[in-house]
């Protein structure tokens, strides 16, 4: 999604939580141009980035590692909370949040996973 997408400002917490406990699902909140996603799973100590792309009236935000092709990775995963500053463009009315993991140990692109969808009116 790097092509024709806009890099967004992102802040992330340090690792917390155990992603291996059953029933885990990220929680999304949208408030006045700021997206908060609690409990997204990535490798330990992984720096994340967020990118946005418009698809009609939908804004798609992808959260992914800043380095998609690492040569060395941590052998653990954890949960992060991320805060993403959304673009000021007023033309979208639905937000779709997805994640993608790095390519380490893969011969093809990692799958894009849906975190959730929020209607813009829910975040006002």
Question: For residue 47, what pLDDT band results from cuts at 50, 70 and 90?
Answer: very high
Is 46 strand, coil or helix? coil
**Residue 6 burial class via C-beta count within 10 angstroms: exposed 0-12, middle 13-18, buried 19 and up:** middle
Question: For residue 122, what pLDDT band results from cuts at 50, 70 and 90?
Answer: low
- For 85-95, the pLDDT digits (tens) are 998 867 889 99
Claim: this prediction has a pTM higher than 0.85: yes
Q: What is the pLDDT of residue 61?
A: 96
- For 59-117, the pLDDT digits (tens) are 999 999 999 999 999 888 999 999 999 988 678 899 999 999 999 988 898 999 999 99
């Amino acid at each position: 999604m790097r092509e024709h997408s806009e890099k967004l400002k992102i802040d992330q917490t340090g690792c917390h939580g155990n992603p291996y406990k059953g029933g885990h699902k990220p929680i999304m909140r949208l408030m006045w141009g700021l997206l908060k996603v609690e409990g997204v799973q990535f490798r330990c100590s992984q720096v994340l980035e967020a990118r946005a792309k418009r698809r009609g009236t939908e804004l798609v935000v992808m959260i992914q590692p800043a380095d998609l092709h690492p040569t060395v990775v941590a052998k653990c995963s954890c949960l992060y909370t991320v805060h993403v500053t959304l673009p000021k463009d007023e033309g979208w009315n639905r937000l779709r949040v997805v994640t993608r993991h790095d390519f380490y140990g893969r011969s093809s692109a990692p799958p894009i996973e849906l975190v959730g969808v929020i209607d813009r009116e829910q975040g006002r």
